[in-house]
């Protein structure tokens, strides 16, 4: 089981959290102007890298806040966590 460091509550077991997908996905400014291909790209296409990846997590059974995590998808090692709206610590991805 993963131990995830919540920026507000500290280190907790993975069972307290819900995975929210890739972090830093920016919603299109004018979604009505997108064609079907561009809209599908925004909704479904994600990086899915091997190695370091920025993800969103929700602390469902704790503070109930969303935050971001940098996790290695090969080793599952979590390098850092940070609040939504912040950028990863310098030198990260």
Q: Name the superfamily (CATH) of residues 3-25+32-83.
A: Folate-binding superfamily (3.30.2270.10)
pLDDT digits (tens, 9 = 90+) for 18-56: 999 999 999 999 999 999 999 999 999 999 899 999 999
pLDDT at res. 91: 59
CB atoms inside a 10 Å sphere around CB 24: 12
Over the chain, what is the mean pLDDT? Answer: 93
Say if residue 93's pLDDT is above 60: no
pLDDT at res. 90: 73
Beta carbons of 82 and 65 less than 8 angstroms apart? no
pLDDT at res. 89: 81
pLDDT at res. 50: 95
- The C-alpha atoms of residue 75 and residue 77 are separated, in whole angstroms, by 5
CB atoms inside a 10 Å sphere around CB 27: 6
**In the chain, where the domains are located:** 3-25+32-83
Answer with the residue of higher pLDDT: 38 or 90. 38
The widest CA-to-CA distance across the chain, in whole angstroms, is 43
- Please name every residue paired with 57 in a beta bridge, in sequence order, or none if there are none: 19, 67
- Residues composing the chain: 93
Any idea which residue has 């969303």 for tokens?
Answer: 66
């Amino acid at each position: 089981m993963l131990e995830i460091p919540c920026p507000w509550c500290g280190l907790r077991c993975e069972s307290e959290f819900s995975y929210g997908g890739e972090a830093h996905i920016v919603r299109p400014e004018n979604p009505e102007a997108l064609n079907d291909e561009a809209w599908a790209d925004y909704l479904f296409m994600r990086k899915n890298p091997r190695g370091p990846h920025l993800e969103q997590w929700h602390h469902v059974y704790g503070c109930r806040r969303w935050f971001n995590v940098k996790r290695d998808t090969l080793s599952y090692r979590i390098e850092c966590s940070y609040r939504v709206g912040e950028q990863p610590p310098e030198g990260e991805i």
